[in-house]
Amino acid sequence: MIFELRTYTAEPGRSADFLKLYEVMALPLQQKYLGGLVGFYVSEIGPLNQIVHLWRFDSLAERERRRSEMESDPEWQAYRARYKELGAIRRQESKILKPTSFSPT
């Protein structure tokens, strides 16, 4: 099992705009194609304007397969165009995490 940790840093005052677009257009598609949403969060203390989400996959190959299927969906392409047009995100970071032998998940 692996986890993908994604962190988006929004332009100041734009987190709500991104979250609204994401919830309406992207989340239904990601749930359909990716499954495995562990959690979706916003920062309160520390670096501000951050949106963090965590996804679970059986393997890196499964992640790649699922993301490829999603990328080919015209609805996902429409979301990506709207996301770019919105211009609310300053930076995106993605990490693949592998649990240790003693991790509970």
Residue 81: the pLDDT is 97
Residue 99: the pLDDT is 95
- pLDDT category of residue 77 using cuts at 50, 70 and 90: very high
Share of the chain above pLDDT 90, in %: 98
With respect to residue 102, please indicate whether it lies within any of the assigned structural domains: no
CA atoms within 13 A on the CB side of 68: 6
Q: Is the pTM of this model over 0.75?
A: yes
Residue 30: the pLDDT is 97
Total domains in the fold of the chain? 1
Residue 105 has pLDDT above 90, yes or no: no
With respect to residue 78, please indicate whether it lies within any of the assigned structural domains: yes
Q: Show the domain range for 46.
A: 2-94
CA atoms within 13 A on the CB side of 45: 0
